[in-house]
Structure 1
Amino acid sequence: MRIDRIDIINVHNPFNHPFTTSFTSFVNRDALLIKVYSEGLVGWGECKAFYGPFYNPEDNGTVLHVLKNIIIPAILHEDIAGPAEFIEKFKYIKGNRLAKAAIENALWDLLSQRSGKSIKTLLGGTQDEIKVGVSLGSEKTLDDLYRMIEKYLKLGYHRTKIKIHPGKDIEVIKGIRKEFGDITLTVDANSAYTLKDVELFKALDEYKLQYIEQPLGECDLVDHAELQSQITTPICLDESIDSYEACEAAIKLKACRVVNIKSSRVGGMYEGKRIHDLCVAHNIPLWCGGMTELGIGRVQNVSFASLPGFTELAHDVAAANRYFEKDITIPMVDITDRCTIIVPDETNGIKYTIDENAIDAMAVAHWIMK
């Protein structure tokens, strides 16, 4: 595939409801969209970085620099066979995985169009639909949180995940169990705790959580292994899993019993599939994480989550209207009456097109490189 031109479009899309985590609160999705022109075709990718380096070391500013000044000049007017060759070509760049994934995702789109095969088929996906879970941020009051939980339970979401942080943890979970009984419940700490909090996590065992997501620091694999050895609730690693090597180390250390793969965080779907295969080989349950994507990234997550190892647990790949009033695909990603999302492939007629009018309305900056 000869790369003729690449556009980077910065868009702002307001959230329906502020999304609050242990480290900040987001009121709109500040995203970079990647438009790759190749021999008469156009492939789209979406960068999953945010406006600041809070969740990930990369942010939109660093991604923009790496794309404009390093990656794009090196591939313009060059032939790239596909995602695998692209990843190999840029393995000399340390980190900056979200930047690489933004281009890599667009290459999958181009490869799909050129081959006439869906991304699901190209990846080796086997599932026709994926189960959806809901991830809820911190709310001002428990009553506000209860209303949100009730809303999504009525919609049929298969798993409820709550953000926790010191001061808003065990009492919140205790209240939820009292209010809603034995719903499938998980918590996400986004690295807000340390091993000094081991007694808190021992106490959480009582509440039969499906897993505790990323309780400790992203680099604390040894401490996660120590914590996992002292509690019965499975630990799920998220931020810690930023590469195949990190996942391999986590498995060897027994630092977790569940893994959340966010393909963009590990450099793209090619690397994400390698991690998926590693976990399947070690019988580690998997689910596909979300990063409040717009429609381009959301659709690609749905395809990625069709891989055969993603069967047991619900995913953070919700309906688009969970986050946004408007989105950038036609149709917007939605759930079935079974609270699943149908995976687009060659046989079911499900197809998403890019709403360029919506992108233009949300755009705040546009860079053209050719």
Structure 2
Amino acid sequence: MIIKKVIMNHVKMRLHEPFKTSFGTIQDKDFALLEVVDENGTTGWGESVALPDPTYTEETFKTSWHILEDFLIPVLLDKEISHPDEVEEIFSPIRRNYMAKAAIEGAVWDLYAKRKNLSLAAALGGTKKKIAAGISIGIQQSKEELLNKIAGYIDEGYKRVKIKIKPGMDIEVIKAVRSRFPDVPLMADANSAYTLEDIDHLRKLDEFNLLMIEQPLGVHDILDHAKLQQSIKTPICLDESIQSLNDAKNAIELGSCQIINIKIGRVGGLSPARQIHQYCKDKGIAVWCGGMLEAGIGRAFNIAISSLENFTLPGDTAGSSRYWKEDIITPEVVVQNGYIDVPSNIGIGFEPDRKRIQKYTVKTTIYNH
């Protein structure tokens, strides 16, 4: 296939409610929505996941747009590609900028699947017909508000609850949740809010039978995570620390974690995500798919990658209505009894709704030679 044209839309959508973590609050989500068009006029879709501020990683919506427009799209135009795995090598002279790379690499995967008359899940090697859905809840104004939200999501059938924590809003919050919901599969996400000086404090989590604590220490603290994991019983899951297959290898070799969260945007695309998945499978490390407040197209990619065998824990891929008044795909993603059906239609399996996309589009730029 030859990429003859790329259309990039700046889309801005408002979340149902602000999403608060230890590193900030998000209400409006700007993202790039991409269409890559081949020599036959077939289109593949992709979505950027970078946040507005460089808090989760160094990337932002604006830097991703810049890297896509000035570097990635030019190098991909008129390039003949046999398989999407080749995109990683094509982009290799451009360092990092993984979220920008993932946005357009995903569109190439969608295009490839359509050309092969396969669903994206099947093209990736996925075998599951449905995936377990977990829910991620931001920091709330009060314990009671958090408990009420958890109760509602449990009633909806979600298979796992993740709550955000930070110093001063951790042990007592989790204690309250466990007191009311003693058996719910529960995990805590710290988003790098702690240091090794907090070992004794974090050890207090062991009494609550958590599935895991996600990214308790800094992004580059793989060694410190190994020291922490030796000191606590609660399994550590690494998120921000794993930005490549090499990072995963180092973390597993050092004993820094027992679980890895694979986010497609954070690792640079579906091909790197698939490599990390396979390596973790070979090493007996469980993985799951985290969320980045995606709209429908990004959500479709999360569903597809989660259909791979070693995604054994519920991910953060909730239904569309969890975040958006209306999504930009039809049908919208729906959770039924705690599960999401993996679509069997070709490509991402959902149809982008062009009227809704236009409604939320700030600007459109077309790139071709």
TM > 0.5 fold call: yes
Q: Is the 8 Å Cα contact of residues 243 and 266 (structure 2) preserved in structure 1?
A: yes
Offset, 1:200:
1.1
* Shift, 1:131, TM fit: 0.2
Q: How does 1:151-190 map to 2 (within 5 A)?
A: 151-190=152-191
SS at match of 1:95: coil
Corresponding residue to 1:352 among 338, 350, 353:
350
Go from structure 1 to structure 2 and tell me whether the alpha carbon gap of 1:192 and 1:122 turns closer, same or farther (over 3 Å shift): same
Deviation per CA, 1:261-302: give whole Å up to 9, x if none: 012211111110100000000100111111110000101110
Amino acid aligned to 1:18: P
SS of corresponding position for 1:4: strand
Task: Tell me which residue corresponds to 1:82.
Answer: 83
Partner of 1:34: 34
Paired residue type of 1:182? D
Specify the alignment match of 2:297 in structure 1: 296
Contact 1:135 1:161 in 2 (8 A): yes
| 1:284-363 correspondence to structure 2 within 5 Å | 284-311=285-312, 313-336=313-336, 338-345=337-344, 351-363=349-361
- 3-state DSSP of counterpart to 1:109: helix
Write the letter of the residue equivalent to 1:77: D
Name the counterpart of 2:364: 366
Deviation at 1:342, TM superposition (A): 0.6
Work out the percentage of aligned pairs sharing the same amino acid. Answer: 44
- Unaligned regions of 5+ residues in structure 1, if any? none
Which residue of structure 2 aligns with residue 222 of structure 1?
Answer: 223
Deviation at 1:350, TM superposition (A): 9.8
**Pairs within 5 Å for 1:17-166:** 17-39=17-39, 40-166=41-167
Q: CA deviation at 1:29?
A: 1.7
Q: What is the rounded CA distance, in whole Å, between the counterparts of 1:272 and 1:264 in structure 2?
A: 9
CA-atom RMSD in angstroms: 1.3
Q: Distance in 2 between matches of 1:87 and 1:207?
A: 41
Distance 1:78 1:164 in 2: 45
Q: Tell me how far 1:77 sits from its aligned partner.
A: 2.2
Q: Which amino acid aligns with 2:38?
A: S
**Matched position secondary structure for 1:94:** coil
Q: Residues 173-252 of structure 1 correspond to what in structure 2 (within 5 A)?
A: 173-252=174-253
Cα distance in 2 for residues equivalent to 1:16 and 1:102: 24
TM-score, with length taken from structure 1: 0.97
Structure 1 distance, partners of 2:251, 2:367, is 40
Matches of 1:32 and 1:72, distance apart in 2: 13
Q: CA deviation at 1:16?
A: 0.7
Does residue 1:9 correspond to 2:9, yes or no?
yes
Q: Say if 1:351 and 1:94 are closer, same or farther in 2 by CA, change over 3 A.
A: closer
Partner Cα separation in structure 2 for residue 283 and residue 3 of structure 1: 38
Shift of 1:145: 0.7
Deviation at 1:108, TM superposition (A): 0.7
Contact 2:110 2:348 in 1 (8 A): no
Q: How many equivalent residue pairs?
A: 367
TM-superposed deviation, 1:84: 1.1
Q: How has the CA–CA distance of structure 1 residues 78 and 350 changed in structure 2, closer, same or farther, with 3 Å as cutoff?
A: closer
Q: Give 2:32's aligned amino acid.
A: L
Q: CA deviation at 1:346?
A: 5.2
Aligned structure 1 segments of 4 or more residues deviating by more than 4 angstroms = none
- Which ranges in structure 2 are unaligned for 5 or more consecutive residues? none
How many Å apart are 1:81 and its aligned residue? Answer: 2.2
DSSP-derived class of the 1:201 partner: helix
Q: Distance in 2 between matches of 1:264 and 1:273?
A: 12
Question: Could you tell me whether the CA contact under 8 Å between 1:161 and 1:186 is conserved in 2?
Answer: yes
Distance 1:267 1:318 in 2: 22
CA contact (8 A) 1:120 1:343 kept: yes
Q: What SS does the aligned partner of 1:160 have? A: strand
